[in-house]
């Protein structure tokens, strides 16, 4: 049987404390309200359910970003060094989150519109994020802090193209939602016509 490393023990301890804190908040709120008012307040459960709903709604995005990040790390470890693989994974993850900030501006509208890039604040934040990603990869002081190394031009292009998959995934989802919403009103309009047909005869 293999021994648990110090890093694994620390991760287990943090996860245990986080889960214990959530259960403590849930149970203490329930017992406090019930103890003072003798009313079983079940709203805490609904807030937990709301959090779970948001977690599931963001699951597809997390799968795409996490899958592409792990994929590029796995590819770079086989073809490059571990340091380059770690740097490419971090860079891909950061660029994908910048792309995601544009994708979530609207649930239905494509990001390839003028309105998407009319937000000056978002453009400024994007510029600052791009500088932070560049400095974190290329500047020596940040390389020592983050454990990154410099990337070549081809490696940067690879990271950008792989990170762009989040845009493709969200655009496909928005296309499906737009088609579904366009067919639903047509189906709703057909129902009164079908109901009025026997009366006309």
Residues 113 and 21 in one domain: no
The residue segments making up the domain with residue 89 are: 54-184
Residues 26 and 63 in one domain: no
- 91 lies in some domain: yes
- 3 lies in some domain: no
Residues 118 and 150 in one domain: yes
Using alpha carbons, list the distances in angstroms from residue 39 to 24, 46, 80, 98: 19, 16, 62, 46
- Could you give the CA distance from residue 161 to residue 23 in angstroms, rounded to a whole number? 42
Burial of residue 159 (CB within 10 Å: 0-12, 13-18, 19+) is buried
How large is the C-alpha radius of gyration of the chain? 25
Q: How many domains does the chain have?
A: 2
pLDDT at 160: 94
pLDDT at 161: 94
- 192 lies in some domain: no
Residues 86 and 152 in one domain: yes
- The pTM of the full predicted model, rounded to 2 decimals, is 0.63
pLDDT at 201: 47
- 191 lies in some domain: no
- pLDDT tens per residue, range 74-127: 998 888 888 899 999 999 999 998 998 888 888 788 888 888 788 888 888 889
Residues 128 and 167 in one domain: yes
């Amino acid at each position: 049987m293999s021994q648990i490393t110090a890093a694994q023990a620390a991760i287990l301890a943090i996860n245990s404390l986080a889960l214990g804190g959530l259960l403590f908040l849930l149970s203490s709120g329930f017992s406090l309200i019930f103890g003072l008012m003798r009313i079983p307040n079940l709203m805490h459960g609904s807030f937990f359910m709301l959090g779970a709903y948001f977690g599931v709604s963001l699951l597809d995005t997390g799968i795409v970003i996490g899958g592409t990040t792990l994929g590029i790390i796995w590819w770079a470890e086989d073809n490059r060094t571990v340091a380059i693989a770690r740097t490419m994974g971090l860079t891909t993850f950061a660029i994908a989150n910048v792309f995601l900030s544009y994708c979530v501006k609207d649930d239905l509208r494509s990001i390839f519109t003028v309105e998407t890039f009319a937000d000056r604040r978002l453009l400024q934040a994007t510029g600052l994020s791009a500088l932070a990603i560049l400095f974190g990869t290329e500047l020596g002081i940040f390389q020592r802090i983050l454990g990154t190394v410099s990337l070549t031009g081809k490696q940067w292009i690879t990271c950008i193209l792989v990170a762009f998959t989040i845009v493709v995934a969200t655009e496909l989802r928005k296309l499906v939602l737009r088609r579904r919403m366009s067919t639903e009103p047509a189906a709703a309009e057909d129902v009164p016509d079908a109901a009025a047909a026997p009366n006309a005869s």
